[in-house]
Amino acid sequence: MTTELHPATASAATAAVDAVVVGLVQGEDGPVLADGAADVAEAFDGRLPELLAAVGATGKADDVVKIPTAGAIAAPLLVAVGLGRPADGGIPGDRVRRASGAAARALAGSAHALSTLGALDLAAAGEGSVLGAYTFTEYRRSNGKAPLGRLYLDGDAAEIARAAAVAQAVVTTRDLVNTPPNDLYPATFAERAAALAADAGVEVEVLDEQALADGGYGGILGVGQGSTRPPRLVRLTWAGGDAPRAKVALVGKGITFDTGGISIKPAANMDHMTSDMGGAAAVVATTVLAAKLNLPVAVTATVPMAENMPSGASYRPGDVLRMYNGTTVEVLNTDAEGRLILADAIARAAEDSPDLLVEVSTLTGAQQVALGMRTAGVMGTDELRDRVAALGRQVGEDAWAMPLPDHLREGLDSRVADIANVTGNRWGGMLAAGIFLREFVPDGLEWAHIDIAGPSFHSGGPYGYTTKGGTGVPVRTLAALLQELADRP
């Protein structure tokens, strides 16, 4: 169940709902009501900040306090959520998104509520509420409290509908990432992607193992050959209407589970590798979103799917694979498998002559070492790389532009093939992976590689609008990029 967003038809003071959400800003002398709650403040005779402070409210970011309204307003419960200290220019959008998520999570079990946070940032309030309320309970015998059923926001109906669509795309991504790998493997992932696409009027093409062999997809086949569940390549195409303003290729890594293969991973936290298809989930959901929003941008997602398992049939360190574009790759580490399936997919996606290509993957542990668990590393051609990183920060999906130093290329020289899949040293692993992928991008094509190894999965407790498990990063970044292209004259 996903929280529904609807335009408000009554004021915050008079709405017949279970609860009303107001924002609090940290002031010098205590909490201060944020914009949007004037009628609620009036109903409490101006004493609301004083009452909230008396029960411990401070206005600190994401802090949630509930009080009964005792008939002062129509709703029986008031939820006050902190926004932190005001910044230059007001409250940043992601602060509104985080506060909305915290408030929505606190309202689990409620049928309907009204939020005044839309007065600060309507889209952020809508997205944050849906994402903060998210739960994944498909595999639980007892689901506990249902998430908030319906949230009313005061504002433009079209903007609220768009926020709901973007949030649903993130929810779809989270659901896919959170589905256990015994149920989500290449064939079933392909089926779910195809069903999502068909519902949105998106064209679907699925290549099975025989079609992959006939097509020369050596990277996808090599990585997937150790599993009893054969690989797939899924292509989703949204035509962008009669006059698309840009042609975009999206590529996403779809390793449905990664043991490391023969170069096996340590047992500790290997269960987190259920998220190794987070990039694929994100580009599938984004392509479907483009269709649902009817964006005048042609989008094709090329999604390689494989399970990296150790067996007597597995590919080995020392093997040489021939990629889709004819490049030969010496495998030095079977746990550097994502770049091998992506090489095939990038080469295939480039054949469509897109204006730009964006690839998303949970690619390297080195990303986590360099940037932590919440900041994606973005590489590629300078202009698009910087734009994608900036859009990520703008929508609250933290991202940082990283270089592709030419001197690291020599570390990928192979003894027997055109290139090796890893370098012989531990330094700059995130960058070396980006350099490897660059080998498969045609000259002159603008491209960006987003390494989401850390940001795609959250193993701790919930905060803001981020819940445990799949995060849905970077769907909102990709959506912002497509919207920007759609808004071009």
Catalytic (active-site) positions = 265, 339
412: amino acid identity, one letter: L
Q: What residues have CB less than 8 Å from 38, skipping those under 6 apart?
A: none
Q: Which two structure tokens, joined as six digits, stand for 143?
A: 């689901």
Compute the half-sphere exposure of residue 373: CA atoms within 13 Å on the CB side of its CA.
8
Residue 356: how many CB atoms within 10 A of its CB?
21
How far CA 34 is from CA of 24, 82, 89, 152, in Å, comes to: 5, 9, 14, 18
Torsion, Cα of 283, 288, 294, 298 (10° steps)? 50
Given a contact cutoff of 8 angstroms between Cβ atoms, the answer to whether 91 and 10 are in contact is no
DSSP secondary structure string, 410-445? Answer: GGG--SSSSEESS-SSSTTHHHHHHHHHHTTSPTT-
Compute the half-sphere exposure of residue 166: CA atoms within 13 Å on the CB side of its CA.
27
How far CA 6 is from CA of 114, 163, 416, in Å, comes to: 9, 11, 61
Q: Is 460 exposed, middle or buried (0-12, 13-18, 19+ CB in 10 A)?
A: exposed
Q: Is 27 exposed, middle or buried (0-12, 13-18, 19+ CB in 10 A)?
A: middle
Q: From CA 481, how far away is CA 478, in angstroms rounded? A: 5
- Cα 470 to chain centroid distance, Å, stands at 8
Place of tokens 């985080």: 98
Torsion, Cα of 284, 468, 122, 15 (10° steps)? 120
